[in-house]
């Protein structure tokens, strides 16, 4: 795996994450399939390998410091560096009993959603940064959503999920500022409204369509944009 560029995708066992892994594999990356459940992880790795992708499973629960540190060790052993990190793992959070109506907001749901969607991305990014810094053209892509856009305010009222993506966008901008003098390029992506478990498969776009913007940002040239928020149509208003 050493001569190939290597990408780690979190939440890569299904949905958009699996499609990102497949797409990066198709353009020549070795892919580390980050997933928390062993059975689902190995099934995804087998599926990707059957499609010709150079895939390796990496146990990864983005809410666990220990799991994230262990995953960084595995990537170091397998490849010695990391070229691309896609922070894709995300959850919607409970919505029953007004849990995400702001007027009856369940703060435990907010904490749970932030722990995965925001702190998870920070945990994984910071654990992987030493490996990313060893790559020639390192890229980080954070899977966000137009639901987090303060301008667009798309989708249903969800006062845990939507703000989690707003914060992820803001954190992305802060990373871009901190890494401005380096070769590490960080951006946020919106996949559009995609048919996955997340949306009950009741959405118009395929996982492959949702993955396309992440793959584009993961393979940006060295003079590509930094600290932006993009979908297939271009820049998304914050």
Q: Is 62 one of the binding residues for ligand NAP (CB under 6 A)?
A: yes
Residue closer to ligand NAP by CB (options 135, 236) is 236
* Diameter of the chain measured on Cα atoms: 54
Residue closer to ligand NAP by CB (options 131, 195) is 195
Supply the residues annotated as catalytic.
Answer: 161, 165
3-state class (DSSP) for residue 98 = helix
Task: Give the shortest CB-6-to-ligand NAP separation in angstroms.
Answer: 18
Q: Is 23 one of the binding residues for ligand NAP (CB under 6 A)?
A: no
Q: What is the DSSP letter of 8?
A: E
Q: Is 66 one of the binding residues for ligand NAP (CB under 6 A)?
A: no
Q: Which residues, 111 to 170, sit near ligand NAP by CB under 6 A?
A: 116, 120, 143, 145
CA distances from 159 to 110, 122, 142, 153, 203 (A): 8, 21, 20, 11, 21
Q: What is the 3-state secondary structure (H, E, C) of 101-135?
A: CHHHCCHHHHHHHHHHHHHHHHHHHHHHHHHHCCC
Q: Is 8 one of the binding residues for ligand NAP (CB under 6 A)?
A: no
Q: How many residues bind ligand NAP (CB under 6 A)?
A: 32
Q: Note the helical H segments in the chain.
A: 15-26, 38-50, 65-79, 107-114, 120-132, 161-178, 207-218
The only residue of 176, 194, 215, 236 in contact with ligand NAP, by rule CB under 6 A: 194
The only residue of 11, 23, 163, 227 in contact with ligand NAP, by rule CB under 6 A: 11
Nearest partner of 171 among 129, 119, 132, 215, judged by Cα: 119
Binding interface with ligand NAP (CB under 6 A): 10-11, 13-17, 35-37, 40, 60-63, 88-91, 116, 120, 143, 145, 190-191, 193-194, 196-199, 203
């Amino acid at each position: 795996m050493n001569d190939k560029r290597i990408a780690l995708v979190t939440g890569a066992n299904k949905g958009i994450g699996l499609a990102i892994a497949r797409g990066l594999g198709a353009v020549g990356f070795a892919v580390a399939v980050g997933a928390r459940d062993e059975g689902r992880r190995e099934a995804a790795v087998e599926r990707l390998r059957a499609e010709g992708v150079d895939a390796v499973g990496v146990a990864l629960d983005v809410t666990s410091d220990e799991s994230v540190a262990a995953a960084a060790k595995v990537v170091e052993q397998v490849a010695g560096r990391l070229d691309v990190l896609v922070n894709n793992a995300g959850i919607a959070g409970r919505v029953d009993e007004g849990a995400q109506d702001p007027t009856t907001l369940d703060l435990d749901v907010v904490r749970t959603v932030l722990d995965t969607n925001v702190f998870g991305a920070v945990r994984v990014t910071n654990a992987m940064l030493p490996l990313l810094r060893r790559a020639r053209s390192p890229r980080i892509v954070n899977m966000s959503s137009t639901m987090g856009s303060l301008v667009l305010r798309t989708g249903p009222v969800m006062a845990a999920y939507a703000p989690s993506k707003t914060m992820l966008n803001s954190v992305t901008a802060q990373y871009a500022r901190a890494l401005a003098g380096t070769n590490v390029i960080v951006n946020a992506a919106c996949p559009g409204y995609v048919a996955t478990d997340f949306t009950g498969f009741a959405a118009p776009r395929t996982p492959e369509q949702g993955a396309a913007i992440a793959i584009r940002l993961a393979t940006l040239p060295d003079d590509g944009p930094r600290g932006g928020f993009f979908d297939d149509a271009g820049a998304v208003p914050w």
